[in-house]
Structure 1
Amino acid sequence: ARGAYIKAEAVGGAPEVILIATGSEVSLIMAAHQTLNGMGIRARAVSMPSFELFEAQDAAYKEHVLPSAVTARVAIEAAVPFGWHRYVGAHGKIIALERFGASAPQEVVFRELGLTAEAVVAAARELLGR
Structure 2
Amino acid sequence: LCAKGAYVLADSEGKRQVILIATGSEVSIALKAREALQAQGIGTRVVSMPCMELFAEQDEAYRRKVLPAGNIVRIGIEAGVRQGWDRWLLGERGREAKTGFIGMDRFGASAPAEVLFEKFGITSDAIVNMANDLL
Note the residue ranges of structure 1 that are not aligned, 5 or more in a row. Answer: none
- Separation in structure 2 between the aligned mates of residue 106 and residue 8 of structure 1, nearest angstrom: 24
Given candidates 4, 18, 32, the residue that maps to 2:6 is 4
C-alpha deviation, 1:68, in angstroms = 0.5
Q: Secondary structure at the match of 1:73?
A: strand
Structure 2 counterpart of 1:96: 103
Q: How does 1:22-41 map to 2 (within 5 A)?
A: 22-41=23-42
C-alpha deviation, 1:70, in angstroms = 4.1
- Separation in structure 2 between the aligned mates of residue 101 and residue 6 of structure 1, nearest angstrom: 29
- Separation in structure 2 between the aligned mates of residue 61 and residue 51 of structure 1, nearest angstrom: 14
RMSD: 1.1
- Separation in structure 2 between the aligned mates of residue 69 and residue 5 of structure 1, nearest angstrom: 18
- Separation in structure 1 between the aligned mates of residue 108 and residue 83 of structure 2, nearest angstrom: 18
- Separation in structure 1 between the aligned mates of residue 45 and residue 125 of structure 2, nearest angstrom: 16
4+ residue segments displaced more than 4 Å: none
C-alpha deviation, 1:109, in angstroms = 0.9
Identical residues among aligned pairs (%): 49
- Separation in structure 1 between the aligned mates of residue 48 and residue 112 of structure 2, nearest angstrom: 23
In the superposition, the TM-score normalised over structure 1's length comes to 0.93
Q: How does 1:51-62 map to 2 (within 5 A)?
A: 51-62=52-63
